Chain A
Amino acid sequence: MESKYNRYILAGLTVLCIALMGVTMVTDQWLEPLRTGVGYVLIPIQSGVNKVGVAIYQQLSDYGQLKGAIEENRRLQTEIDRLTEENNRLSSQQFELQRLRELYALDQEYMQYQKTAARVIANDSGDWFQVFRVNKGSADGIQVGNNVLAGGGLAGIVTDVGAHYATVRSIIDDSSRVSAMALQSGDTCIVGGDLTLYKEGRLSISDIKKDGDVKDGDRIVTSNISTAFLPGILIGYAADITVDSNQLTSSGYLVPVAEFNNLQEVLIITELKETKDPTGETP
């Protein structure tokens, strides 16, 4: 008798889950109160545990890094000398650029977006997906579809928002697709995450037109025609570009600028691309 009831419960739950999946594939707006409610309980716990964990980890790694730091310091000093020199040169070029811009009335400036900083409080521990959670949410102006930056490059896109947290899918996730272009030549391409490349720290670049001029080491930025990503954000550098076997397109790899191994702080751009497609690119 007992097991018969259990079977009914199981059947009921199965139907419920499948129905929920069906409904949420179309829209999951109505889930936000639930997410926010659970968030009120979970986020303080996650933040707290994360703070303790980070503190301990920091202590350990600080000690380990002390030895390397001296050597690094010397190296950085020479780097500073070089950069100072370069900065002098660049700032004079900057003035020249400004003059030319005014001349051409070129008002499209990249990277002038409104940003807010957030701390990563939870990661997916399994290896199948590359998603993480940050401690800012809709109360701080974050919306689904906001672009996320880390270490000077694109890191991901917000896929879910609660009042005080947001879930971010990073660009190295297997299902991530970013419409991109080469900065020099303007040739468009698709930057996709791939689980089989992730351990080598690379992403895949595909769909470059065969006569497109993308060389190894070219800067790849988000493209103007992307539906979900604001234009001009640096993603990384192209590597090993080869012509595909179909002789129509080229493809290769991309070395991302953002470090994904130990993300702790990210910047979230609180502007949305105007097409407002929150689901990200479709391949």
Chain B
Amino acid sequence: MKRIAINLALIIIAFTIQNCVFPLIPFLSASPNLLLILTFSFGFMKGQRAGMFYGVLAGILLDLFYSGPFGFYTLFYVYVGYINGICTQYYYEEYITLPLVLSVLNELAYNFYVYVFRFLIRGRLNILYYLKELVIPETIFTVVTTLLIYRLLLYIGRWLTEFENRRDTTIV
């Protein structure tokens, strides 16, 4: 219960930072996609069901922010949670390479999804320009941020486990 509350708070904070703080930083030409990092990390660490749950939350927040067909982002984030949840069997705490690879793949998939369904269908064919100007900078930023966020999540997880253990022992 406590975990869910903390993770929920993390998602809302990430959403707020992404929309209210990053745009104010003038030298940041691209910014990391925090919600995507959180969703795939939860999926990867906790499994498919948790991934889908947090995917729905993150997606709904984004769908409420953007106008357009409601569910566009939710659909994608649910799949991010589910597919990264498959990799949970390879999850070890100190193993950072796989999360980084997943981060790149997720980021590319996300941008590809947006490009195909929002730009390509309107006949914008200049994919190389978008790749160079938007996708690659954002992917780099996201991977670097993944390093930090993933550590932070591990730390929070460890702290919570410790907290729960301590509480158990006091009851006994």
Q: Is the CB of A53 within 8 A of B24?
A: yes
Q: With the chains together, A49 CA to B14 CA distance in Å?
A: 12
Q: What per-residue 1/0 map shows which CB atoms of A44-57 lie under 8 Å from chain B?
A: 01100110011001
Contact for B19 among A10, A39, A125, CB less than 8 A: A125
State whether the Cβ of B87 lies closer than 8 Å to any Cβ in chain A. Answer: no
Residue of B nearest to A26 (CB): B69
CB proximity of B60 to chain A, nearest CB, Å: 8
Q: What per-residue 1/0 map shows which CB atoms of B71-92 lie under 8 Å from chain A?
A: 1101100110010010000000
State whether the Cβ of A17 lies closer than 8 Å to any Cβ in chain B. Answer: yes
Count A interface residues, CB 8 Å: 54
By a CB distance below 8 angstroms, the chain A residues around B151 are none
Residue of B nearest to A121 (CB): B20
Q: Is the CB of B78 within 8 A of A17?
A: yes
By a CB distance below 8 angstroms, the chain B residues around A14 are 75, 78-79
By a CB distance below 8 angstroms, the chain B residues around A159 are 67
By a CB distance below 8 angstroms, the chain B residues around A175 are 118, 122
Q: Is the CB of B70 within 8 A of A6?
A: no
**Given contacts A10-B78, A45-B12, are A126 and B138 in contact (CB under 8 A)?**
yes
CB proximity of A1 to chain B, nearest CB, Å: 12
The stretch among A30-38, A68-76, A231-239 that forms the contact with chain B is A30-38
Count B interface residues, CB 8 Å: 49
State whether the Cβ of B45 lies closer than 8 Å to any Cβ in chain A. Answer: no
> What total of A-B pairs shows CB separation below 8 Å?
137
Q: Is the CB of A13 within 8 A of B52?
A: yes
Q: Is the CB of A122 within 8 A of B70?
A: no
Residue of A nearest to B78 (CB): A13
State whether the Cβ of A20 lies closer than 8 Å to any Cβ in chain B. Answer: yes
Contact for B85 among A6, A17, A38, A199, CB less than 8 A: A6
Q: With the chains together, A191 CA to B66 CA distance in Å?
A: 22
Q: Is the CB of A49 within 8 A of B70?
A: no
Q: With the chains together, A17 CA to B16 CA distance in Å?
A: 24
**Given contacts A13-B52, A17-B71, A199-B133, are A129 and B66 in contact (CB under 8 A)?**
yes
Q: Is the CB of B64 within 8 A of A34?
A: yes
Q: Is the CB of A126 within 8 A of B118?
A: no
Contact surface of A with B, Cβ cutoff 8 Å: 2-3, 5-6, 9-10, 13-14, 16-25, 28, 31, 34-35, 38-39, 42, 45-46, 49-50, 53-54, 57, 121-129, 131, 133, 159-160, 167, 169, 174-175, 195-196, 199, 261-262
User: Contacts A124-B65, A126-B31 given; 16 further ones with Cβ under 8 A?
Assistant: A6-B48, A13-B74, A17-B59, A17-B75, A17-B78, A21-B69, A21-B75, A24-B69, A25-B69, A45-B16, A124-B66, A125-B31, A126-B33, A128-B114, A128-B115, A131-B67
